[in-house]
Amino acid sequence: MGTDSAATQPGQSSSSAQPLDEEDLAQALAQVPVGERLEDAFSAYLLACISLGFAKTAAPQLRQRSAELGHHPLASALDHLAVSIAQKAVLDAAATYDQAGKGSSSLANALDLITGCLKDPTFGSAADREAARQLVAGIRNSVITIKSPEISAIRYWRNKWAGHRSVDPQVDPWAWEHPVDFAVIKNGLDQMRAAFREFALLLTQLPQLASLQEDARRVDDHTVRVGISLDGTTSWPIDSVLALGESQAQEFLDRTLPYLTSDSGRS
């Protein structure tokens, strides 16, 4: 059998794309409509809530089944899955406010984008733009510059546990005494919801800001893509959004747990 030298080899990508350096990334980001990046930030909040809802439902039940299995190989697999689910919940929650990298879909970057827009004289009178800048600063201070204990805990869990393995738990008593707590993450995300809510209301106060999302959805003169309502997204109680992830997790568990027993796979 002959071989095709042009075929993609294992471990190779068929794409010629390479990671962008900082300058190229900045240029690429500048081509993305501001309204689209705003939607991405609000979507990141929704996804974080869904991840948390999934984790708080699935992880405890997976650990319980692992304990029931004892030393069975499936127990280790379920422990691994439970940890991975919890780590994703932490990472997604931290991503809502993240200040690392201009390309992240975070509230911090969304606020930076609006700050840049407000430097443009066409975005309203000097007084209106200054008032909007003050509101941006207030939102930033509420959850980013001055972090609450809950958001600080999320950042810690992201930096010292979910993002990478760290030696810190061996020398930092806080790590042993404060394992990941889904209730704390929920409270932190509810604070982010309130900040995003204020941000959504801010975007309605100046016509030029309100038009950013509409402009980003316009594909051409005859086509408009479907987007999300920034105001509507943040008006939902957090429990309503968590319920989406909880229902997904329960469906997954109902379909899988009956088969995850010590004698599964045996005839």
Query: What pLDDT digit, counting tens, does each position of 149-176 carry?
Result: 999 999 989 988 888 766 666 777 776 6
Given pLDDT bands bounded at 50, 70 and 90, which one contains residue 179? Answer: confident
| 42-46, 158-162, 214-218: least confident range | 214-218
Question: Residue written as tokens 């948390």?
Answer: 52
Q: For residue 213, how many other CB atoms are within 10 A of its CB? A: 21
Per-residue pLDDT, 127: 95
pLDDT reading at 130 higher than 90: yes
Query: Which CA distances in Å does 183 have to 53, 63, 94, 174?
Result: 11, 18, 15, 17
CA distance 139 to 142: 5
CA distance 31 to 89: 30
Q: For residue 261, how many other CB atoms are within 10 A of its CB? A: 14
Paired tokens of 200: 């959504």
Average pLDDT over residues 43-63: 96
pLDDT reading at 147 higher than 70: yes
Paired tokens of 223: 């086509």
Q: What is the pLDDT of residues 23-32, one digit of tens each?
A: 888 888 888 8
Per-residue pLDDT, 220: 57
CA distance 129 to 260: 59
Find all residues with CB under 8 Å of 15, minimum gap 6, and list them: none
